[in-house]
Structure 1
Amino acid sequence: MAVTSFKRQDQIFDPKRTWSFDPTFDGWKFLFQQTKYLTWIGNTALVGGIVVAITLVLAVPAGYALARLAGRVGQSMGVAIFLTYLVPPTLLFLPLSRVITKLGLQDSLWSLVVVYPSFTVPFSIWLLMGFFKSIPVELEDAARIDGCSRLQALLRVVFPISLPGVLTVVIFTFSLVVNEYIYAITFISSSAHRTVSAGVPTDLIRGDLFNWPSIMAAILIPSIPLALVYNAFLNRFIAGFTGGAFR
């Protein structure tokens, strides 16, 4: 992606120019000067931050409650909640469209804020439920003996230990917001309100003409921070998935 973003359009399909070419910033200039790319980045960050917050607020207490308070019923409910995550997004399109219309959120970033938690919360509850089960109950009992309430035990003891699982939820949720296309392109019609996943294909692809240098530059920019986060917290990320899925 990085190499292609510095090529001219006529150099991309020339095999002799795979590595030997004259670097140019034309693709980058077009991206920043002829499109609303910086606005898309801001919209993506805004929606991602709000959806991550909503997901954590709903998934952490729900996952903890199902893991600790409901016994066998909690396991069954956790599986049932996870099955809702497996429902294809296309099946939810019509009912969610009616919800967005009723709320008057067409062509608004709030439509995505309403829709995305329906995908992120079920998976996050299931993941965190398994992770909370891997934390010994004796730690909470010791905290409660010392005078903590159940909520204080959750915040002061369980939550810090479960940071790998929480981090996994944050990365998963934000990655979904960055990559989701169907609802972003359907509910948002104006270019100024689009996210990166919807703005890049609509403004950089005209018919059968692909502005590949600008497309590669547009994809490269959000990929770098995500890749850095994945690499920096790789061990915690793996621990979060394995702890939530198999214990």
Structure 2
Amino acid sequence: MSASLRKERRSALVWSYVFLTLFAVVFLTPPLYMFITSLKTSAEISSAKLPWWVFDPTLDNYSALLTSPAYLTFFRNSAVVSVAVVAITMAISIPAAFSLSRMRFWGSGALAAGVFLTYLIPETLLFIPLFKIFAFVQDWTGIELMNHWWILIVIFPTLTVPFCTWIMIGYFASIPKELDEAALIDGAGYLQVLTRIFLPVALPGVIAATIFAFTVSWADFLYPMAFATSIDQMVLPAGIVSTLIKGDVFNWGQIMTAALLGAAPPLVIYAFLMDYYIAGLTAGATKG
């Protein structure tokens, strides 16, 4: 290997570490500051002391939240909503993606593109007509639909199903057609092809879609603020804002603590399933 080539590789390695370091600093600074703030008392937060140092660390903010019935209710509501949304999303997206990628029919390509295009519509444009639709149904039927956490289980799939279907269409399309053709020749039905061949092979894509659906339903703020406004019906993002911000008074210690605790479930899921998530998104975005 020539000296010039070694020099170029060394230079590229150095610049790679420089950019990775900058990336880490930029993205790790906010959670680090949140953690430091969560260990402070309100008096220390409002003082003029160094914001990046804790002079008198305390776990009072954590104990206050973990013993708060309201916060535990928010956490429980978020967990139930997220698990239910994931189940509904997978029950719809997997068969839809399989049908659009393998059971070719007239208009299937346009339908697949339309599924993804619906995801591109901002939720800020969707929540107003959705709100009016549910308000109309409530007035017409007399059934109270608004201001219940379970209504989010019906609404969130409008955000998760299109994207998850699109991701899995791409992943299913990357699977060799010879596999399902051989299974069909041997007498297997389409349901058996899906459950016994496609799902095991496409597991990274399914996991990527599952993580996406969970993250959206866990972290979304706009829909919970519009559709579930009572304290006992709120989920975590809306509940944190509604209970820890009173007018222009911000309880920063508990806000940062609540945000960190709320970020823990998605963080744990990403940590254990990161390889599957990256593989699923990569294949789903580049195939088909």
State TM-score, norm by structure 1.
0.94
Q: Please report how far the alpha carbon of residue 42 of structure 1 lies from its aligned counterpart in structure 2 after TM superposition.
A: 0.5
Aligned pairs for 1:13-92 within 5 A: 14-16=48-50, 18-34=52-68, 36-70=70-104, 73-92=107-126
Please state whether the residue corresponding to 2:107 is helix, strand or coil. Answer: helix
**Distance between the aligned counterparts of 2:191 and 2:184, measured in 1?**
10
Q: How many residues align?
A: 247
CA offsets 1:34-59 (integer angstroms, 9 cap, x no match) = 56011111000100011101100110
- Per the TM alignment, residue 145 of structure 1 is displaced from its structure 2 partner at its CA by 3.2
Is the CA contact 1:5–1:214 (under 8 Å) kept in the aligned structure 2?
A: yes
Structure of larger gyration radius: 2
Aligned-residue sequence identity (percent) comes to: 39
Corresponding residue SS for 2:58: coil
Deviation track 1:126-171 (CA, whole Å, cap 9, x = no partner) reads 1110110001111112223333211101101101111111111111
Q: Is the 8 A contact 2:39 2:54 kept in 1?
A: no
1:194 aligns with 2:227: no
* Contact 2:36–2:54 (Cα < 8 Å) also in 1: no
CA distance in 1, matches of 2:274, 2:262: 18
Structure 2 distance, partners of 1:149, 1:107, is: 44
Contact kept, 8 Å, 1:28 with 1:213, in 2: the verdict is no
Return the alpha-carbon distance in structure 2 between the equivalents of residues 177 and 15 of structure 1. Answer: 38
SS of alignment partner, residue 150 of structure 2: helix
Let me know the Cα RMSD of the aligned residues. Answer: 1.7
Deviates more, 1:202-211 or 1:22-31: 22-31
Say which of 194, 198, 220 aligns to 1:158.
198
Q: Distance in 2 between matches of 1:244 and 1:16?
A: 46
Distance 1:72 1:242, change over 3 A: farther
Q: Looking at both structures, which has the greater relative contact order when contacts are Cα pairs under 8 Å and sequence separation is at least 6?
A: 1
Q: Tell me, what secondary structure is at the counterpart of 1:109?
A: coil
Distance 1:2 1:20, change over 3 A: closer
The residue that corresponds to 2:248 in the other structure is: 208
Tell me, in whole angstroms, the C-alpha distance in 1 between the residues paired with 2:233 and 2:152.
11
Q: Under a length normalisation based on structure 2, what TM-score does the superposition of the two structures give?
A: 0.81
Q: State the alpha-carbon separation in 2 of the partners of residues 17 and 76 from structure 1.
A: 54
CA–CA distance in structure 2, aligned partners of residues 30 and 215 of structure 1: 11
Q: Contact (CA 8 Å) 1:12, 1:18: kept in 2 or not?
A: no
| 2:127 paired residue among 86, 90, 93 | 93
State how far apart, in whole Å, the 1-side matches of 2:251 and 2:43 are.
11
8 Å CA contact retained: 1:47, 1:109? yes
- In the aligned structure 2, how far is the partner of 1:130 from the partner of 1:72? 19
Q: Secondary structure at the match of 1:59?
A: helix
How far apart, in 2, do the equivalents of 1:141 and 1:70 lie? 13
Counterpart-to-counterpart distance in 2, 1:20 and 1:69: 60
Cα 1:20–1:51, aligned 2, differ >3 Å: closer, same or farther? closer
CA contact (8 A) 2:40 2:54 kept: no
Change (3 A) 1:3 1:72: farther
- Residue 36 of structure 2 corresponds to 3
Which residue is equivalent to 2:259?
Answer: 219
CA distance in 1, matches of 2:130, 2:277: 31
**What does the per-residue CA deviation read over 1:59-85, in whole Å, with 9 as the maximum and x for residues that have no partner?**
000011000112683232211111111
Amino acid at match of 1:61: P
SS at match of 2:154: helix
Measure how far apart 1:98 and its partner are: 2.3
Matched, 1:232 2:272: yes
